[in-house]
């Protein structure tokens, strides 16, 4: 059960200073060149005002767009391997929305089922999340349709909900308590604040969708929905739960590095064999894979969804492939 | 908790290179680290990711039998960036290996059964591991039949081993090449694999069939086996979906909810029939 | 007659197999729509909010195999169609452009060229503002500006995949023998990607700005190709998309080239 406090707006400065003094980097949404993006900040004033969400997702903090898996030097008849150490700075993710905070669980499911991914885990261990509940939404949001909510505490170590003069602070985890303990003077007794968040209506019946997908694989709906899809990776790259990656090498005559980079199931190269055979040759097959991965395979393999309803894909899509709308259509008979 | 780096390969030295066919080579690889060698074991059907450092990794089955200790072998065709770099290697050069990954052929469940191996072209390597494993445990099984086809005589791999199998009284080997792929002096069959299998007419009674080959060969062979009376649970194959991690994480090898790198690469036809045909 | 009625007639008569147009999307957006049946023509809209260059779809395998299609076309789309014709990617007889309010049939390259002659190209206000800022920068400042912008690139290839002129089946970016450009979206990989793309579009960019519009992280990437296009116009006196019979300026030899090194 969470410990609730009142965190006055002015006390945010105290909290930020205490976190910095503890050696932690604070990543928060900023408005830079007209774009809301995660950047390191020093003080609460650097945090974006009135943002809905960042363009890219919070997954960057634990699963960056490029990271080194190892290095090597090559000689005549010899190779030396150099293991890569995860670049895991103690970090506080401030101001992420509940949808994104809950997304780390879906990443963890993939990175740590069966074998453990050291790079992801090192960053997660060094990461603490101070989420901020939503008092605003847009038409792309559908968190409540996928088990989340604008005030959901899942994935946050501390969740702040805006109230008059500051925030209702729910201290949720050991990591949250450790952060609160760095600035005890900032956290005042809760005078019985009401946790008021925006209303996000449920857009479709998700359990029904997941059931419906079982017998909808060969349906023409995937061709129809994906006709306008241009096959770029914008949806996957902005997604807080899209975890698919590529492993590439960059080298010169003396050695090089093996890197992990984000990848997208939307591109035709993703599954292309060296022989030229491609199991997912058409855009319709690739679009179907995206929907099934998140709403059929994830539930089957990990007993959870691979989608948090943040709507980033919908906002990023150059051709308005609106996920919520397409899911609602697919959920129907 | 300190996790190890699951993406770090073992270093292996190329002990021997065999030219099998045009652009097809077999590497015999030995661990450079004695501790890694001692800790290593695998089972037939499993695969690995092989590194040409500077170019990347490529996925092939382990083509040698687990009964042959001290080394592993892989057979590959030069087809992309990594396989081209591997093909440039010489004996004594160092490559990387991650594995073994994936499931295996359940050969202990086949004790007392007949085995029919059906392979096409460069897809003999995964079956070659099983064939030698089963031949090294020959008492376990009844009749062993091998049907192997390639586009041409030159494209047949493991040419010395084919002679060895042909000479064995306890193996029934049928080698065939596609029409037009024969050369003067060729004494084997000429014809595509599916009709050759049909003419051979192996009995489905108490028999396991293993099929590996290019998609078109598999597609045309499966109906033949069905016609001969082989039930789907007695037919095995391996899938070769593209992979980057081999660990069930990178997300590209799945066919339906099944990860080929973890739940496969070995599947029965019964299992495949329950999955979307994305392979 | 309006666009919907026109589309119904075209589909009913079998004159075209599909109408590629726009429909009402979500959050106020217009989005591409593919209408194959006359009774579905009521979905179509065509107004100022229709931004995307639909010519992108003309080279897709799913659309190519349909045969003749109609396409609602703003001037940028018309230019792209002409350029695709010039590059022999689209056949004149396979495209019927619906211009103006969507009822003006342009059935030939010549008709499109004549129609275009009456429309002037104007840059959007945001582009003018950025160009104004860039024009006041020195070389080092411009370098810093683009480095800052390109550092945001995640290599999702929305710019490439939205571009009507990026129709290559196997893009140089996807080529790994040799690996011309790093796959990873780090500083060098991003810079090389966008430089290669801008150069590949020099003399071919119809300046629709769809690459910049598609960019999820808001990089004004279209200004790079616009700039290359301006250079080609300045040097060679021609503009991509002006005619279906243009030669590609950067790969065409002329004995009277003003540069001596090439003669």
Distance from CA of B167 to the nearest CA of C (A): 43
Please list the residues that pair with B50 across neighbouring strands: B58, B97
- Confidence (pLDDT) at B60: 95
Contact (CB<8Å) B94/A81: no
- Confidence (pLDDT) at A6: 98
Taking CA atoms, what residue in A is nearest to B5? A118
Give me the mean pLDDT over the B251-257 stretch.
93
Q: Which site among C170, C177, C181 would you substitute to test the B interface, given the most B Cβ atoms closer than 10 Å to its Cβ?
A: C177
| Strand residues in chain A grouped as ranges (E) | 3-8, 25-32, 35-41, 66-75, 78-83, 91-96, 127-132, 158-163, 166-171, 188-189, 245-252, 255-262
CB C58, CB C19: distance < 8 Å: no
- Confidence (pLDDT) at A213: 96
Contact (CB<8Å) B84/C179: no
Taking CA atoms, what residue in A is nearest to C188? A250
Contact (CB<8Å) B84/C176: no
Chains that touch B (3 or more CB pairs under 8 A): A, C
Q: Which residues of B touch C176 (CB under 8 A)?
A: 80-81
Give me the mean pLDDT over the B171-185 stretch.
95
A117 → closest Cβ in B80, B96, B249:
B249
| pLDDT of B241 over the 70 cut | yes
CB B222, CB B269: distance < 8 Å: yes
Distance from CA of A288 to the nearest CA of B (A): 10
Chains that touch C (3 or more CB pairs under 8 A): A, B
Is A247 part of the contact surface with chain C (CB cutoff 8 Å)?
A: no
Contact (CB<8Å) A115/B6: yes
Three-state SS sequence of chain C: CCHHHHHHHHHHCCCCCEEEEEEECCCCCEEEEEECCHHHHHHEECCCCCCCCHHHHHHCHHHHCCCCEEEECCHHHHHHHHHHHHCCCCCHHHEEEEECCCCEEECCHHHHHHHHCCCCCCCCHHHHHHHHHHHCCCHHHHHHHHHHHHCCCCCCCHHHHHCCCCCCCCCHHHCCCCCCCCCCCCHHHHHHHHHHHHHHHCCCCCCCCHHHHHCCCCCCCHHHHHHHHHHHHHHHCCCCCCCCCCCCHHHCCCCCCCCHHHC
Q: Which site among A64, A273, A284, A319 would you substitute to test the C interface, given the most C Cβ atoms closer than 10 Å to its Cβ?
A: A319
CA distances from A6 to A151, A152, A168, A186, C167 (A): 16, 18, 5, 8, 57
Q: Which residues of C touch B78 (CB under 8 A)?
A: none
Give me the mean pLDDT over the C85-109 stretch.
96
Q: Tell me the count of B-C CB pairs closer than 8 A.
A: 6
Is B80 part of the contact surface with chain C (CB cutoff 8 Å)?
A: yes
The answer, as to whether pTM is greater than 0.85, is yes
Q: Which token pair is C199?
A: 């150069």
A247 → closest Cβ in B245, B254, B255:
B245
Q: Which token pair is C105?
A: 């049939």
CB C195, CB C208: distance < 8 Å: no
Torsion of CA A30, A27, A312, A108, to 10 degrees: 180
Contact (CB<8Å) C32/A138: no
List, in order, residues 6 or more apart from A70 with CB less than 8 Å away.
A81, A82, A83, A84, A257, A258, B5, B7, B8
DSSP string, A70-136: EEEEEETTEEEEEEPPP----EEEEEE-HHHHHHHHHHHHHHHSSS--HHHHHHHHTEEEEEE--S-
Distance, in Å, from the CA atom of B176 to the CA atom of B179, rounded to the nearest integer, reads: 9
Q: Which token pair is C133?
A: 């800022």
B241 → closest Cβ in A69, A113, A279:
A279
Model pLDDT for residues B34-75, shown as the tens digit of each residue: 999 999 999 999 999 999 999 999 999 999 999 999 999 999
Q: Which residues of A touch B249 (CB under 8 A)?
A: 110-111, 115, 117, 243, 245
- Confidence (pLDDT) at A1: 52
Q: Which site among A82, A108, A110, A115 would you substitute to test the B interface, given the most B Cβ atoms closer than 10 Å to its Cβ?
A: A115
Kindly state the percentage of chain B with pLDDT values over 90.
95
Query: pLDDT band at B1, cuts 50/70/90?
Result: low
C186 → closest Cβ in A66, A236, A315:
A66
Q: Which site among B23, B29, B54, B246 would you substitute to test the A interface, given the most A Cβ atoms closer than 10 Å to its Cβ?
A: B54
Give me the mean pLDDT over the B250-259 stretch.
94
Taking CA atoms, what residue in A is nearest to B245? A247
Mutual angle of helices C139-150 and C125-135, in 10-degree steps: 140
Query: pLDDT band at C256, cuts 50/70/90?
Result: confident
DSSP state of A2: P
Contact (CB<8Å) B80/C179: no
Query: pLDDT band at C64, cuts 50/70/90?
Result: very high
C183 → closest Cβ in A56, A248, A322:
A248
- Confidence (pLDDT) at B6: 97
**Averaged pLDDT score across all residues of chain B:** 95
Please list the residues that pair with B56 across neighbouring strands: B52
List, in order, residues 6 or more apart from B201 with CB less than 8 Å away.
B228
Q: Which residues of C touch A236 (CB under 8 A)?
A: 156
Distance from CA of A270 to the nearest CA of B (A): 7
Mean pLDDT of successive 10-residue stretches along chain A, which has 333 residues: 89 98 98 94 96 96 96 94 94 98 98 97 97 97 97 98 97 97 96 96 96 94 95 96 96 94 93 90 95 97 97 96 95 85
Q: Which token pair is B55?
A: 């170019």
The H or E element spanning position B209 is strand B207-212
Model pLDDT for residues C124-147, shown as the tens digit of each residue: 888 989 989 999 999 999 999 999
Query: pLDDT band at C262, cuts 50/70/90?
Result: confident
Taking CA atoms, what residue in C is nearest to B85? C177
Q: Which residues of C touch A228 (CB under 8 A)?
A: 31-34, 57
């Amino acid at each position: 059960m969470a410990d609730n406090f009142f965190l006055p707006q002015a006390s945010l400065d105290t909290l930020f200073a205490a976190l910095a003094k503890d050696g932690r980097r604070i990543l928060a949404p900023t408005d830079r060149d007209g774009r809301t993006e995660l950047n390191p900040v020093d003080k609460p004033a650097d945090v974006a005002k009135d943002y809905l969400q960042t363009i890219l997702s919070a997954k960057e903090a634990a699963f960056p767009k490029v990271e080194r898996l190892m290095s090597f030097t090559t000689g005549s008849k010899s190779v030396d391997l150099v293991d890569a150490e995860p670049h895991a700075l103690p970090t506080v993710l401030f101001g992420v929305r509940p949808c994104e905070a809950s997304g780390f669980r879906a990443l963890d499911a993939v990175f740590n089922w069966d074998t453990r991914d050291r790079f992801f885990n090192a960053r997660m261990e060094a990461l603490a999340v101070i989420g901020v509940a939503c008092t605003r939404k847009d038409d792309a949001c559908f968190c409540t349709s996928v088990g989340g909510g604008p005030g959901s505490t899942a994935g946050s170590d501390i969740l702040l909900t805006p109230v008059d003069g500051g925030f209702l602070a729910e201290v949720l985890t050991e990591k949250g308590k450790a952060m609160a303990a760095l600035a005890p003077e900032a956290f005042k007794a809760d005078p019985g604040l009401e946790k008021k968040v925006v209303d996000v209506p449920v857009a479709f019946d998700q359990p029904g969708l997941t059931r419906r997908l079982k017998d909808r694989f060969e349906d023409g709906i995937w061709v129809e929905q994906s006709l306008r899809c241009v096959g770029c990776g914008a949806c996957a790259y902005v997604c807080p739960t899209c975890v698919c990656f590529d492993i590439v090498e960059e080298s010169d005559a003396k050695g090089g590095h093996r890197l992990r980079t984000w990848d997208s199931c939307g591109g035709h190269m993703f599954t292309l064999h060296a022989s030229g055979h491609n199991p997912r040759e058409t855009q319709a097959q690739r679009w179907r894979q995206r929907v099934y991965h998140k709403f059929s395979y994830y539930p089957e393999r990990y007993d959870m969804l691979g989608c948090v309803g943040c709507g980033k894909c919908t906002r990023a899509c150059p051709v308005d492939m609106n996920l919520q709308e397409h899911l609602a259509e697919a959920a129907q008979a | 908790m300190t996790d190890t780096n699951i993406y770090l390969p073992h270093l292996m030295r190329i002990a021997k290179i065999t030219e099998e066919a045009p652009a097809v080579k077999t590497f015999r690889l030995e661990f450079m680290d004695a501790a890694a060698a001692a800790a290593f074991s695998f089972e037939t059907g499993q695969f690995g990711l092989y590194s040409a450092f500077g170019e990347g990794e490529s996925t092939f089955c382990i083509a040698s039998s687990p009964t042959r200790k001290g080394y592993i072998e892989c057979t590959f065709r030069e087809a992309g960036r990594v396989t081209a770099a591997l093909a440039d290697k010489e004996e004594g050069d160092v490559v990387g290996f991650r594995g073994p990954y994936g499931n295996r052929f359940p050969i202990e469940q086949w004790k007392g059964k007949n085995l029919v191996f059906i392979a096409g072209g460069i897809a003999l390597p995964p079956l070659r591991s099983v064939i030698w494993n089963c031949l090294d445990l020959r008492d376990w099984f009844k009749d062993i039949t091998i049907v192997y086809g390639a586009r041409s005589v030159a494209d047949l791999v493991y040419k010395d081993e084919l002679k060895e199998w042909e000479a064995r009284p306890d193996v029934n080997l049928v080698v065939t090449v596609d029409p037009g792929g024969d050369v003067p002096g060729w004494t084997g069959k000429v014809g595509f694999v599916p009709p050759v299998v049909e003419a051979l007419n192996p009995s489905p009674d108490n028999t396991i069939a293993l099929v590996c080959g290019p998609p078109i060969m598999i597609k045309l062979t499966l109906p033949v086996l069905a016609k001969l009376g082989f039930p789907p649970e007695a037919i095995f194959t391996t899938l070769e979906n593209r992979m980057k991690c081999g660990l069930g994480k990178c997300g590209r090898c799945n066919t339906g909810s099944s990860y080929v790198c973890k739940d496969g690469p070995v599947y029965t036809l019964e299992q495949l029939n329950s999955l979307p045909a994305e392979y | 007659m309006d666009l919907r009625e026109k589309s119904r007639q075209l589909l009913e008569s079998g004159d075209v197999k599909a109408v590629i147009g726009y429909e009402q999307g979500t959050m106020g957006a217009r989005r591409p729509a593919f209408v194959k049946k006359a009774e579905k023509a009521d979905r179509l809209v065509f107004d100022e909010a229709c931004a995307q260059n639909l010519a992108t779809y003309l080279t897709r395998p799913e659309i190519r195999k349909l045969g003749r299609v109609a396409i609602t076309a703003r001037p940028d789309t018309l230019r792209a169609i002409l350029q695709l014709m010039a590059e022999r990617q689209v056949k004149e007889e396979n495209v019927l452009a619906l211009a103006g309010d969507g009822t003006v049939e342009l059935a030939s390259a010549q008709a499109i060229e004549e129609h275009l002659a009456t429309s002037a190209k104007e840059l959007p206000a945001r582009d003018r503002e950025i160009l104004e800022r860039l024009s006041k920068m020195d070389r080092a400042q411009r370098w810093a500006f683009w480095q800052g912008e390109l550092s945001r690139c995640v290599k999702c290839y929305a710019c490439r995949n939205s571009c009507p002129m990026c129709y290559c089946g196997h893009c140089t970016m996807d080529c790994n023998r040799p690996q011309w450009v790093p796959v990873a979206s780090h500083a060098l990989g991003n810079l090389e990607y966008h430089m290669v793309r801008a150069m590949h579009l020099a003399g071919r960019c119809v300046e629709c700005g769809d690459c910049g519009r598609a960019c999820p992280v808001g990089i004004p990437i279209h200004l790079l190709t616009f700039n290359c296009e301006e250079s080609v116009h300045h040097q060679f006196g021609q503009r991509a998309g002006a005619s279906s019979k243009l030669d590609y300026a950067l790969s065409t030899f002329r004995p009277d080239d003003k540069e001596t090194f090439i003669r």
